[in-house]
Amino acid sequence: MSDDHASSLISAEVRHVEALLESRGLLGAGEIDTRIDEFLAGGTPANGARIVAHAWTDPGFAARLLADANEAIREVGLSMAGGLQEQRLKVVANTAEEHNVVVCTLCSCYPIALLGPSPSWYKSEAYRSRVVRDPRGVLAEFGLELPAATRISVWDASAESRYMVVPRRPAGTDGLTEPELAGLVTRKGLIGTAAV
């Protein structure tokens, strides 16, 4: 079965279930699309960048973020409550000794609210399988060459848990404001496939 054919079958099944829910009055017409659009509109890498910039400038927040990310991100007006149940968020921080990278080996679980829609490479089977086996090689393909002594930790997301990386703060940024610092943070940095 081709991927296009399988996708068509799944789409038809989803439309059928949606029509049943609408006919029974459990959903309004187009309600699912509206809610998906609202959810995606709120998700952007700028949210994750804002969290990182705040962590870089507030050591207390950084400690709370690493200890209990779900609770800490509420301090900046964000949450992981995008569906029926709040997803667990674990935030990990890069150091001189350790670099973190995120993957979902089963599918493409990803903190959309904090990083926006996932990039196509994150969902690819090549990334999902290779970053676990050869993280240093995959990071090099992204242009990130780490010292041989740097330990690489790979964090595998799941349906219940999502991960985000706090990149190392670049040298020479002491005088920058939080918004200026946030402007340095990229989605790849939040996933761990790039430095800042």
- Which residue in the list 7, 11, 107, 124 is annotated as catalytic? 107
Give CA–CA dist 70/78, Å, rounded. Answer: 9
CA dihedral 130, 133, 139, 142 (to 10 degrees): -10
Give CA–CA dist 27/25, Å, rounded. Answer: 5
What residues contact 34, with CB distance under 8 A and at least 6 apart?
Answer: none
Identify whether 124 is a catalytic site residue. no
Give the phi and the psi of residue 77 in degrees, each rounded to 5: 80, 25
Q: How far apart are the first and last CA of the chain?
A: 42
Identify whether 104 is a catalytic site residue. yes
- 6: tokens are 């399988």
- Which residue in the list 108, 118, 158, 161 is annotated as catalytic? 108
Identify whether 7 is a catalytic site residue. no
Closest CA to 163 of 108, 126, 123, 121: 108
Cβ 59 vs Cβ 81: under 8 Å: no
Catalytic residues: 104, 107-109
